[in-house]
Amino acid sequence: MLILHHGVSLSPLCEAQAFFCQAPVLDEFFQTLRRKVKIGIVGGSDYSKIAEQLGEGDDVIHKFDYVFAENGTVQYKDGKLLSKHAIQNQIGEELLQDLINFCLSYMGLIKLPKKRGTFIEFRNGMLNISPIGRSCTPEERIEFSEIDKVKERIREKFVAALQQEFAGKGLRFTKGGLISFDIFPEGWDKRLCLEVLEGEGLDAIYFFGNETSSGGNDYEIFNDPRTIGFTVSSPENTAGLCRELFFDTPPNES
């Protein structure tokens, strides 16, 4: 989540964890906050997944002043599409196919308790790689995450192999969520959205994210000198920080 200061303005950055889950009370709070500041959201997922995560459907682009999907390679302002970037135009078809072929070969050698479908998701600004497959159930997602974090470090080893194979090719690899990681061109991390926001006459930009440690997909924007970064763990945590920062007294209290 990002908050922009124009007098104050806000922009939430949301990854697959869905910081703004489908909670009416939280939605009401952030719409109240929007009357004081500009709000926005940025995520690694495509727009349809962000809308699904927030439970708002097509209303998302109208409930936030800014929406940045796929690390900001797809940009909306005031409900309208600003611009869209394409990874194939940036890195070229040959390197793109080399990446896809390497990932398919590597995943073909991994033995997991379960494998499902959609192992590579092609997005405008990145490739999303999931060793278990994005079509796994919520229970299978948690099972894979526990194996990955505690025992096998599957994604970490996969990324290390990619970094060795594609060293010097201008690519970045970042972990996000529970079951996948992203591959994108250098510079196409979430800081892309700052290029738009810098031209908006804002006094400050506040960022709220959960993957803020090294290797996480919030790391670069969290540490960028143009933002004031906060690490958060839940939608409630985010809302609590916003209350402290932007309201003299909590909303709806006298």
Question: Has 153 been labeled as part of a binding site?
Answer: no
| 123 in a labelled binding site | yes
The answer to whether 227 is annotated as binding is: yes
Question: Burial letters for 120-152: b for 16+ Cβ neighbours within 10 Å, e otherwise?
Answer: bbebbbbbbbbbbbbebeeebbebbbebbeeeb
In angstroms, the CA 8 to CA 3 distance is: 8
- Is residue 226 annotated as involved in ligand binding? no
98 known ligand binder: no
Residues comprising the chain, all counted: 254
Q: Is 49 exposed, middle or buried (0-12, 13-18, 19+ CB in 10 A)?
A: buried
Consult the annotation and say whether 134 binds a ligand.
Answer: yes
The annotation status of 180 as a binding-site residue, yes or no, is yes
Neighbours of 92 (CB within 10 A): 11
| In contact, 95 and 169? CB cutoff 8 Å | yes
Amino acid identity, position 20: F
Based on its alpha-carbon atoms, the radius of gyration of the chain, rounded to whole angstroms, reads 18
**Is position 141 annotated in a ligand binding site?**
yes
Annotated binding site for Mg(2+): 210, 222, 224, 227
Annotated binding site for alpha-D-mannose 1-phosphate: 123, 134, 141, 180, 182
Annotated binding site: 123, 134, 141, 180, 182, 210, 222, 224, 227
